[in-house]
Amino acid sequence: MPPCVDVFVWLPRPDPGLLSHFIKRYVNSDHPGDERLAAFSRIYIENAGSDDDRAALADLCRSDAVDDGFSLYVKARAHYGAILTITREGAAVLGLSIDDPYGSPQVQAEARSLIADLRAEFLSPAGRAGVELAPAHSRQEWEDDGLVQIRVGVLPQDAS
């Protein structure tokens, strides 16, 4: 797998309309690469998730704690990949990966532009990007991650 620049935006809450829009616009829904996208959609978009759906997403958590947050990595339409994260606080982090095998300055510029576009499109207070940057599973991870190369905006004090 070539190195990627991962671009993320923070949503203070997992708004069903915004999550649905992200999936329709950026995710290869016909071939998502992870069958748990359906469970994610039932829980966070349709508000119709079952215990089986919740169990499927619990497998994505970094630890055994149910409220630890999780990330779902799926195939994207026009980017290297797409990432949907629900944080420990119940916020959402949406991400897109840009293929960058040569560490190109053009990809860094594309990442900056993509952050601006995603922030506007999803009404996000903040965005960040970095090479092989893991999605934040908490506000603390968002603010403290030392691998961040681009940071734009700030989380409001009352943000999740």
Whether residue 105 lies inside any domain: the answer is: yes
- The rounded distance, in Å, linking the Cα atoms of 90 and 35 is 22
Whether residue 66 lies inside any domain: the answer is: yes
Neighbours of 26 (CB within 10 A): 21
pLDDT digits (tens, 9 = 90+) for 137-152: 999 999 987 899 999 9
Say whether pLDDT at 107 is over 80.
yes
Whether residue 124 lies inside any domain: the answer is: yes
pLDDT digits (tens, 9 = 90+) for 7-25: 999 999 999 999 999 999 9
Whether residue 121 lies inside any domain: the answer is: yes
Whether residue 32 lies inside any domain: the answer is: yes
Q: The domain containing residue 82 runs over which residues?
A: 4-153
Whether residue 158 lies inside any domain: the answer is: no
Whether residue 159 lies inside any domain: the answer is: no
Whether residue 134 lies inside any domain: the answer is: yes
Say whether pLDDT at 66 is over 60.
no
33: tokens are 């690469």
- The rounded distance, in Å, linking the Cα atoms of 18 and 124 is 10
Question: How many structural domains comprise the chain?
Answer: 1
pLDDT digits (tens, 9 = 90+) for 109-122: 999 999 999 999 99
Q: Can you give the pLDDT at residue 157?
A: 82
